[in-house]
Amino acid sequence: MNDSPDISTLAAMNARTRLRWFLRRIACAVYDGLILIALFMFATALLMPFTGGAIDPPPYNLLFDLYLALVGCGYFLLVWKRDGQTLGMRAWRLRVISKDGGKLGAGDLLLRLALGLVGWLALGIGWLWMLVDKQGRGWQDLVGNSALASVPKPKK
């Protein structure tokens, strides 16, 4: 039985369903976190010819931090814009959509990304909110024009 909402509806969920939905979204975030680590390693390797092969930046290097932040944000924005799914979302059959069920514009995607980061930086409260909200929404879903929906299994 599939308790999570599908693309067409985001109805109220009971507590057990919200917990499953939350865990599914966290699993997706962990998967995407591993992909980000690989992207950061690749992005760092691209800079090595310009740093004399050094891979250990100074203790605080603002340009390097901004570069990696741009790589990470770029990953999410590009794949969300292309087909609404990161690789982690594809593995867990999730898709980011607008509240009316369509694709999101660039502004909505930026807002979703910013609110998702704020939710993590606020000790995860923005994500834990999914356990309280009747529709299993995090801050990025509540404030933005976006929603996360389950994608049905492909028929064989």
Please provide the DSSP assignment of 65-117 as one string: HHHHHHHHHHHHHHHHHHHS--HHHHHTTEEEEETTSSPPPHHHHHHHHHHHH
The helix/strand/coil state of 122 is coil
pLDDT at 3 over 60: no
Q: What is the pLDDT of residue 84?
A: 94
* β-pairing verdict for 94-98 and 146-150: antiparallel
pTM: 0.84
Q: What is the pLDDT of residue 11?
A: 63
Question: What average pLDDT does the structure give for the chain?
Answer: 88
